[in-house]
Amino acid sequence: MMAHQAQAIRVRGLEKSYEALHVLRGVDFDVARGSIFALLGSNGAGKTTVVKILSTLIKADAGAGSVNGFDVATQAQSVRETVSLTGQFAAVDEILSGRENLILVARLRHLDDPDKVADDLLQRFSLTEAAARKVSTYSGGMRRRLDIAMSLIGNPPVIFLDEPTTGLDPQARLEVWQAVRELASQGTTVLLTTQYLDEAEQLADRIAILHKGRIIVNGTLAELKQLLPATTIEYVEKQPTLEEVFLAVIGNDDAAGNDNAAANSRRDN
């Protein structure tokens, strides 16, 4: 029955505060099974807090969330078994080779034939040629791709990618984008947090903009672009970019709002 549920992730009314700082103020969204959902927002908007709650690392003050049919508050162990989390900083062992990293994780998860698991993932993420090299020799993009590959061992149906391209150069970002597209093409549900507008535009089936602890818009790229009228210049229709939509919907923050964002940034990175 659970496998037929349309939504892999459901979030209703999530709230989270740190002392007097309200990081989440009632967050609601759904993520369809097998889709890429981008949670887009500035530094300190609360993106990482949402991911930490959904991956059971912290508890919400109010509201509810479920992943793959399991409640994050009451069925935390089942949630942990069904999701994988890849953060902003690769969790790979630099002393080992790429292949050795994958084999180690496969053994820790008691999978049959760890060697085959490793080789299949190396092939899938275009790392076969670098398989025997120490990770210390890898580029930033290669490390992040290996990190994503490691998080897929055991075939989790849902993966959280928390700002996966932070600190990467443009070529490395493109490599990671391709890896994320590969995930979705294989049926994995991806919740992606990002502060990069082009990343959300390139990858996501749906985009939610998180601002001051609330989702202020949520839709497909086409739906978000309809929030702003197209402009006509010399009879050529110009569609608004996601950047223009983002800036229009969040508006101009007052000084207090900027102070809150700065405080959030210290808490939520």
Tens digit of each residue's pLDDT (9 = 90 or more) over 225-234: 888 776 655 5
pLDDT confidence of residue 254: 46
The closest alpha carbon to 208, from 181, 164, 246, 239, belongs to: 246
Based on the structure, what is the number of domains in the chain? 1
The closest alpha carbon to 8, from 211, 267, 187, belongs to: 187
pLDDT confidence of residue 255: 41
Task: Give me the residues of the chain with pLDDT under 50, please.
Answer: 1-4, 254-266
User: What is the 8-class DSSP label of residue 127?
Assistant: -
- Here the CATH number for the domain that contains residue 212 is 3.40.50.300
Tens digit of each residue's pLDDT (9 = 90 or more) over 104-163: 989 988 899 999 999 999 998 889 999 999 999 999 889 988 998 998 888 899 999 999
The closest alpha carbon to 257, from 18, 21, 9, belongs to: 21
Residue the block writes with tokens 């791709």:
145
Beta strands in the chain (DSSP E): 7-18, 21-32, 36-40, 62-67, 70-71, 83-86, 158-162, 189-194, 206-211, 214-219, 231-233, 236-238
pLDDT confidence of residue 4: 42
pLDDT confidence of residue 241: 83
pLDDT confidence of residue 8: 95
Q: With residue 268 as reference, give the H or E element that holds it.
A: none
pLDDT confidence of residue 2: 42
pLDDT confidence of residue 205: 96
pLDDT confidence of residue 239: 79
Are β-strands 83-86 and 214-219 bridged in parallel, bridged antiparallel, or unpaired? unpaired
Task: Indicate the pTM of the whole model.
Answer: 0.81
Domain that holds residue 147: 2-267
Q: Interhelix angle for 98-108 vs 140-151, to 10°? A: 20
pLDDT confidence of residue 31: 96
pLDDT confidence of residue 125: 86
Contacts of residue 251, Cβ cutoff 8 Å, sequence gap at least 6: none
CA atoms within a 13 Å half-sphere pointing along the CA-CB vector of 28: 5
Q: With residue 124 as reference, give the H or E element that holds it.
A: helix 114-124
Question: What distance in Å separates the CA atoms of residue 115 and residue 23, rounded to the nearest whole number?
Answer: 43
Distances, alpha carbon 269 to alpha carbons 44, 50, 57, in Å: 7, 12, 14
Q: What are the respective helix, strand and coil percentages of the chain, to the nearest 5?
A: 40, 25, 35
